[in-house]
């Protein structure tokens, strides 16, 4: 019986030693984040500029000077630009189809530059303004009675 007790004691002691001393500790790994599925890469939010409602101004036939009623529109546009100092503007000069293409292209430039100069006088930095002429290339209407709608400057955010 003594031999059985010794053997039993040794087995229990061996099991105890293996359990608490000899066995390696279990390592728990932290879960790694699951990447998005292929083709669905997370994109950072895109910073968008606010939509600006800038008024179009109009011109008399064969003229590039700012009319008094359009000066009010330019003052409104200037205030919007002052309130949004990070926006740059393209001033587009347009003409009706009366006259040659070359003449209308030059007239469109004069109109756009006239509007730019007026905004500069109102305190808008010239560095924020650029001009382009489309002449008669981008007509609003081809109805002769409405040609006045083509004689304009539009203001677009860059």
Domain boundaries along the sequence of the chain = 57-157
For 40-83, write each residue's pLDDT tens digit. Answer: 555 666 555 567 899 999 999 999 999 999 999 999 999 999 99
> Across the strands, what pairs with 132?
92
Alpha helices in the chain (DSSP H): 2-17, 68-83, 101-121
31 within 8 A of 125, measured Cβ to Cβ: no
Please check whether the domain covering 57-157 is classified as CATH 3.90.550.10.
no
Tokens standing for 81?
A: 């630009």
Over 60: is that where the pLDDT of 115 sits?
yes
CA 129, CA 54: separation in Å to the nearest integer? Answer: 13
* pLDDT bracket for residue 138 (50, 70, 90): very high
What is the per-residue pLDDT for 52? Answer: 83
Helices (H) and strands (E) in the chain, counts: 3, 4
3-state secondary structure of 52: coil
Over 90: is that where the pLDDT of 88 sits?
yes
Query: What would the mean pLDDT of 126-133 be, rounded to a whole number?
Result: 96
What is the per-residue pLDDT for 24? Answer: 54
What is the per-residue pLDDT for 17? Answer: 55
For 57-67, write each residue's pLDDT tens digit. Answer: 999 999 999 99
Closest CA to 156 of 59, 105, 101, 81: 81
> Across the strands, what pairs with 89?
129, 157
Closest CA to 106 of 95, 118, 117: 95
Alpha helices in 18-67 (DSSP H): none
């Amino acid at each position: 019986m003594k031999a059985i007790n010794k053997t039993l004691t040794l087995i229990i002691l061996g099991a105890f030693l293996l359990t608490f001393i000899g066995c390696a500790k279990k390592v728990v790994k932290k879960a790694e984040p699951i990447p998005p599925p292929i083709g669905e890469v997370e994109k950072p939010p895109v910073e968008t500029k606010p939509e600006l409602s800038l008024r179009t101004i109009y011109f008399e036939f064969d003229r590039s000077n700012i009319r008094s009623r359009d000066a009010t529109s330019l003052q409104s546009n200037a205030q919007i630009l002052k309130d949004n100092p990070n926006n740059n503007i393209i001033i587009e000069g347009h003409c009706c189809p009366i006259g040659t293409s070359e003449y209308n292209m030059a007239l469109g430039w004069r109109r756009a530059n006239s509007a730019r100069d007026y905004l500069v006088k109102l305190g808008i930095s010239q560095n924020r303004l650029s001009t382009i002429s489309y002449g008669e290339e981008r007509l609003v209407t081809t109805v002769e009675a409405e040609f006045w709608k083509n004689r304009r400057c539009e203001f677009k955010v860059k």
